[in-house]
Chain A
Amino acid sequence: MQNCDNENKKNADILGESDGEYKYGFVTDIDTDIIPKGLSEDVVRLISKKKGEPQWLLDFRLKAFRQWLNMSMPRWAHLDIPDINYQEISYYAAPQQKKEGPKSLDEVDPQLVDTFNKLGISLEEQKKLTGVAVDAVMDSVSVHTTHKEKLAELGIIFCSFSEAVRDYPDLVRKYLGKVVPATDNFFAALNSAVFSDGSFVYIPKGVRCPMELSTYFRINAAGTGQFERTLIVADDDSYVSYLEGCTAPMRDENQLHAAIVEIIVEDRAEVKYSTVQNWYAGDKEGRGGVYNFVTKRGLCRGEASKISWTQVETGSAITWKYPGCILKGDNSVGEFYSVAVTNNRQQADTGTKMIHIGRNTRSTIVSKGISAGHSQNSYRGLVRVAPGAEGARNYTQCDSLLLSQTCGAHTFPYIDVHNDSAIVEHEATTSKISEDQIFYCNQRGISTEEAIGLIVNGYAKEVMNKLPMEFAVEAQRLLSITIEGGVG
């Protein structure tokens, strides 16, 4: 009986979400330390001071800021980006806590813990998701990192970026900005100047990280942007799987999120980076929502190293994101698996970059775009084979599925081959769900709406299979919710 109740409740949960509403749209009422709006050198200095940073990091920020002043916003993507007033954003917001930062979970503001509980991210050790260590980042600062001690036993460093700067300055200094230079692009320069927190991961030689590491990002305060930075270093023969999730409250104004993720992989090491991006996407008319301008890049520096990007993009009003791999080490491998879903007035321009430099480097790209409502969804990818990349191999498959008469699906692959021994293949298709498939399902008593969910999940399965188990279930439900109401 109890089981049955549970089952009903679970169903109700699912049904409750099925009205297509964004269930993470609440606001946490918590005292937040926000600096005044605007961006100037003084603001950059203030952020650095608030975080008690060393001089070298301030210099890094200032250099980036000065470069940023001379840069202009990229307009090449297939996106209609309204002008953003960078002086109307507050660049630092921190939920107020005791000065020292929490030593244990008991010291964390219970309201914060509640917030993350509501998001389904439990910070409480006893209720922990089995085998997942979480770093929770709210607005500009890291709130809490779980499982730190257990990881420390293996020599794994998993902490907030600020802690890393404080405790491991040499490591941070050695790797910061090495994959994504401060002046890489407009948003990267902005992030480098004002980034507030994020996660730092270091996996020592020969260590296979026993649990999934996860960062959960949450924008809470109004009128702020989120500028976090993630740096992952995997030393020789190590392995780590890293997950990233994000949500934001429903607000009428747009919020800016400009993040950087840098990954460095040494000899024979492997990093698997998975993202379920579910920032608030705006309402049906396209009011509000997060502008998601993210620079993610990994460097396969070592021989036979491997980076695998998996992303499920369902949120954000505008997504501008191209996780890439620089395959420098011989025999290194890059992978990119992506499902990007857009509905209502969402716009996404996302894809990857695979830069083959080393010999016998291999890359695989599988991208599945799904557009519904009035949304625009583009795949943009670059595969470059440098002159020295003997025997490089790339296979790209990118499919688009159109679910409505008013949406758009676009494919913009760029292939540059400068080596005659390379083999590069690209395939793309665009289509809608066939009426035969719907009819087949209808015939067997499955409603059209359900059938579409089923078919879409089947279509995206190739990518979903690459997600860690904890994420896959969530991602699959998210997929069905996102496309609801957008079909027709």
Chain B
Amino acid sequence: MDALQQYITLYRDHAAEVCGHAPEVLNRPRPEAFKAITGLDLPKIGAESFDVTSLPDMLAPDYGVNINRVPFAADAAEAFKCGLPNISTLLALVVNDAFRPTSSLLRNLPAGVTVTSLAKAAEADPDLVGRYYNTLAAAHPHNAVTMLNTLLAQDGLFVHIAKGVVLEKPLQIVNLLNPSAPLLTPRRVLICLEEGARASVLCCDHTASGSAPSLCCQVTEIFLGAGARLDYCELEESNSDTGRLCNTYASLSDDAELVADGITLMCGRTRNEYDIDIPGQRARCRIGGMAIAGGKQTVDNRTTVRHHSPKCESNQVFKYILDDEAKGSFYGSIVVDEEAKYTNAYQSNRNILASKEAKMYTRPQLEIYCDEVKCSHGATVGQLDATALFYMRSRGIPEAEAKMMLMQAFMADVIDSISIPALQSRLRQLVERRLAGHNDLCSACQDSLCQDNL
């Protein structure tokens, strides 16, 4: 059967079950999504912005969808071994798409901060969730991933920070894919920061060892009120059997600031889309991306930053190191409207190919409709600087170590701009291990936050 059709049929035949296990707010946009997705062609490799990702291939396997909400077991120790040492975070677990808070999270959540299951929140306060849910995603009826998620999403994560509330501790969400049979997880995330609120959210994506192949189809909607600031970091350390299709939509009001980082250290096939809308004035947005891929992995990042109002700033920095037969793609665009005077927008994509078979596709794009702007972009594909390597070797540093140092330096500016210092040092360590060829990242981290959190 056609890759997409199997899910359309699944929904058509089981709409009652999908809706029966989900709150009304999530059910409301389903008919619209069903209409939009019926007749959509899935983009194959070669379609615009699809240089390494073939959606028909990714959706082709006969994945199941947990529409009847059968609870999955999750080994907490397995899940939390990636907690951040030397830093206390508010920790929560999302198993596939089901939210599980830790006891410490429940104990320590300050007033005005809601971190809970999306389904529960939609039942408890349908007005609040309904005000935001699907308002950004609905504008993308041609995006098969977004429509598929809207069609099938039943749960996920809801974060709400009330006006003026500052969440001091970073919120760490561990997304664990742990299916016992091939599974498609339509996870939905909604993050709303009201006026003047501040928060840091770190999402770590893992696939439990020994689990069946899975595909995570996630849509995240982020709303930042006037003057709000969100640091949002996604760290993927899954495995080669995991597919990830993750679309992030954000809307920034006046003076809001979004710092989003997408870090891919281990993956199977990954495609992240960021679509940032800036209707507010003086808003700022930074998207950082880093990927280290080997084997037959593919990493695909697509970004769109739309400037609609004056005096905003956006900056995108993406860096890739590709080894073996890995393929990388970066497709970034900046759109500056006629009204968006005094916009400063920058985009940079730098890549290192470390093997003969690795391939990189990069398309940094500018669409400018206003003359009072400063915009630039740059892209490079190359190798480690031979002169620098020689300099280091001539001073007695072994080649492997010299290479490692250069690669770490190459990644440094993405890591350095992450706002959680403990995460920075942690990432440096992870990158070093990853570059040294250790793919079993988590095994060394047993000393981290542990079960008594639960």
Chain A contact residues, CB within 8 Å of chain B? 76, 78, 385, 387, 400, 402-432
Identity of the chain B residue whose Cβ is nearest the Cβ of A422 in the assembled complex: B381
Task: Decide yes or no whether B121 CB sits under 8 A from chain A.
Answer: no
* Chain A, residue nearest B362 (CB): A415
Q: CA separation between A426 and B372, bound complex, in Å?
A: 23
Contacts of B88 in A (CB 8 A): none
Tell me, rounded to whole Å, the shortest Cβ–Cβ distance linking A399 to chain B: 9
Q: Which residue of B lies closest to A487 (CB)?
A: B371
Q: How far is the CB of B278 from chain A (nearest CB, A)?
A: 17
Q: A402-B370, A430-B375, A432-B372 are in contact. Are A421 and B383 (CB under 8 A)?
A: yes
Instruction: Among B355, B365, B378, B383, point to the contact of A412 (Cβ < 8 A).
Output: B365
Q: Do B358 and A430 touch (CB < 8 A)?
A: no
Residue of B at shortest CB range from A414?
B363
The distance from the CB of A404 to the nearest CB of chain B, in whole angstroms, is: 6
User: A415-B381, A417-B360, A420-B358 given as contacts; is B368 within 8 A of A76 (CB)?
Assistant: no
B453 at the interface (CB under 8 A from A): no
**Contact A422 to B366, CB < 8 A, known contacts A429-B375, A430-B376, A432-B371:** no
How many Å from the CB of B401 to the closest CB on chain A? 20
The answer to whether B360 and A405 have CB atoms under 8 Å apart is: no
Distance in angstroms between the alpha carbons of A419 and B351 in the assembled complex: 12
B320-350 near A? 1/0 per residue, CB < 8 Å: 0000000000000000001000000000000
Report 27 cross-chain contacts, Cβ distance below 8 Å, ordered by A residue: A76-B48, A387-B356, A402-B368, A402-B371, A405-B372, A407-B371, A409-B366, A413-B365, A413-B379, A415-B360, A415-B363, A415-B381, A417-B351, A417-B362, A417-B381, A419-B353, A419-B356, A420-B383, A421-B383, A423-B381, A425-B382, A426-B380, A428-B376, A429-B375, A430-B373, A430-B374, A430-B376
Give chain A residues whose Cβ lies under 8 Å from the Cβ of B379. Answer: 413, 415, 424-426
Does B369 make an interface contact (CB < 8 A)?
A: yes
Which of B364, B370, B376, B380 lies in contact with A424, CB distance below 8 A? Answer: B380
Least CB distance, B303 to chain A, in whole angstroms: 14
Q: A405 → chain B, closest Cβ, in Å? A: 6
CB < 8 Å neighbour of B371 from A78, A403, A410: A403
Q: A423-B382, A426-B379, A430-B376 are in contact. Are A410 and B338 (CB under 8 A)?
A: no
B residues in contact with A427, CB < 8 Å: 376-378
Tell me, in angstroms, the Cα distance from A180 to B317 when the chains sit together. 38
Contacts A415-B379, A427-B378, A431-B373 given: A410-B359 contact, CB under 8 Å?
Answer: no
Given A402-B371, A406-B338, A426-B378, 5 new contacts (CB under 8 A): A387-B356, A411-B366, A411-B377, A423-B381, A432-B372
* B382 and A411 contact, CB distance less than 8 A: no
Q: How far is the CA of A12 from the CA of B391 in the complex (A)?
A: 63
Please, how many angstroms separate the alpha-carbon atoms of A424 and B330 in the complex? 15
Provide the bound-state CA to CA distance between A423 and B362, in Å.
Answer: 13
Of chain A, the residue at the smallest CB distance from B372 is A432
| CB closest chain-B residue, reference A394 | B381
Closest residue of chain B to A420 (Cβ to Cβ) is B353
B367 at the interface (CB under 8 A from A): yes
Contact A424–B371 (Cβ < 8 Å): no
Per the bound structure, the CA–CA distance linking A466 and B197 in Å amounts to 56
Query: Which of A403, A414, A417, A424 neighbours the largest number of chain B CB atoms within 10 Å of its CB?
Result: A417
What DSSP secondary structure best describes chain B's contact surface?
A: strand
The closest CB in chain B to the CB of A385 belongs to B381
Instruction: State whether A429 and B370 are in contact (beta carbons under 8 Å apart), knowing that A417-B381, A423-B382 are contacts in the complex.
Output: no
Task: Say yes or no: A400-B368 contact (C-beta < 8 A), given A415-B362, A426-B378.
Answer: yes
Contacts of B351 in A (CB 8 A): 417
- Kindly state whether residue B361 has any CB partner on chain A within 8 Å: yes
Interchain residue pairs A-B with the least CB separation, the first 6: A402-B371, A420-B353, A417-B381, A430-B375, A411-B366, A432-B371
CB of A424 within 8 A of CB of B382, answer yes
Residues of B within 8 A of A400 (CB): 366, 368
Give chain B residues whose Cβ lies under 8 Å from the Cβ of A430. Answer: 366, 368, 373-376
Alpha-carbon separation in the docked complex, A412 to B379 (Å): 12
Partner of A413, one of B355, B364, B371: B364
Residues of B within 8 A of A431 (CB): 373-375
What's the Cα separation between A426 and B363 when bound, in Å? Answer: 10
CA A18 to CA B176, docked complex, whole Å: 69
| Nearest-CB residue, chain B, relative to A488 | B371
Q: CA–CA, A406 to B367, complex, Å?
A: 13
Interface presence of B236 (CB below 8 A): no
Known contacts A426-B378, A428-B377, A432-B372: A411-B365 contact under CB 8 Å: yes
Which B residue's beta carbon lies closest to that of A78? Answer: B367
Contacts of B378 in A (CB 8 A): 425-428
* B383 CB contact (under 8 Å) in A413, A423, A426: A423
Considering the complex, give the chain A residue whose CB is closest to the CB of B379. A426
- Whether B363 contacts A413 by the Cβ 8 Å rule is yes
In the complex, per-residue mask of B84-117: 1 if CB is within 8 Å of any chain A CB, else 0: 0000000000000000000000000000000000
Most chain-A CB neighbours within 10 Å: which of B338, B362, B366, B376?
B366
Give CA–CA (A414, B380) in the complex, Å. Answer: 11
Check B354 for interface membership: any CB of A closer than 8 A: yes
CA distance A370 to B207 in the complex (A): 50
Closest to A431 in B: B374
A422 to B359, CA, bound (A): 11
A429 touching B359, Cβ below 8 Å: no
* Given A417-B381, A425-B380, A428-B378, A405 contacting B365 (CB threshold 8 A): no
A420 touching B355, Cβ below 8 Å: yes
Chain B residues contacting A403 (CB-CB under 8 Å) are 371
Complex CA–CA separation, A56 to B309 (angstroms): 60
Q: Is the pair B363, A422 in contact by a Cβ cutoff of 8 Å?
A: no
Q: Flag whether B155 is at the interface (Cβ < 8 A).
A: no
Q: Are A405 and B373 in contact (CB under 8 A)?
A: no
A408 to B338, CA, bound (A): 9
Give every chain B residue within 8 A of A407 (Cβ-Cβ).
369, 371
Q: Are B361 and A416 in contact (CB under 8 A)?
A: yes
Complex CA–CA separation, A428 to B360 (angstroms): 19
- Determine the chain B residues whose CB is within 8 A of the CB of A411 once the complex forms: 364-366, 377
Q: Is B254 an interface residue (CB 8 A)?
A: no
Name the residue on A nearest B377 (C-beta).
Answer: A428
Please indicate which of the listed interface residues A412, A415, A421, A423 has the most CB atoms of chain B within 10 Å of its own CB: A415
Cα A409 to Cα B51 with chains together (Å): 25
B residues in contact with A418, CB < 8 Å = 359
* Residues of chain B lying within 8 A (CB to CB) of residue A428: 364, 366, 376-378
A408 near B382: Cβ-Cβ < 8 Å = no
CB-defined contacts of B359 to chain A, threshold 8 Å: 416-418
Instruction: Determine how close the nearest CB of chain A comes to the CB of B60; give it in whole angstroms.
Output: 25
Contact B367 A408, beta carbon cutoff 8 Å = yes
Q: Which residues of A contact B381 (CB under 8 A)?
A: 385, 415, 417, 422-424
State in angstroms the CA–CA spacing of A419 and B358 once bound together: 7
The reply to whether A409 and B368 contact each other, CB–CB distance below 8 Å, is yes
CA–CA, A418 to B363, complex, Å?
A: 15
Report Cα–Cα, A427/B353, bound state, in Å.
Answer: 19
Cα separation A385 to B353 with both chains bound (whole Å) = 12
Minimum C-beta distance from B302 to chain A (A): 14
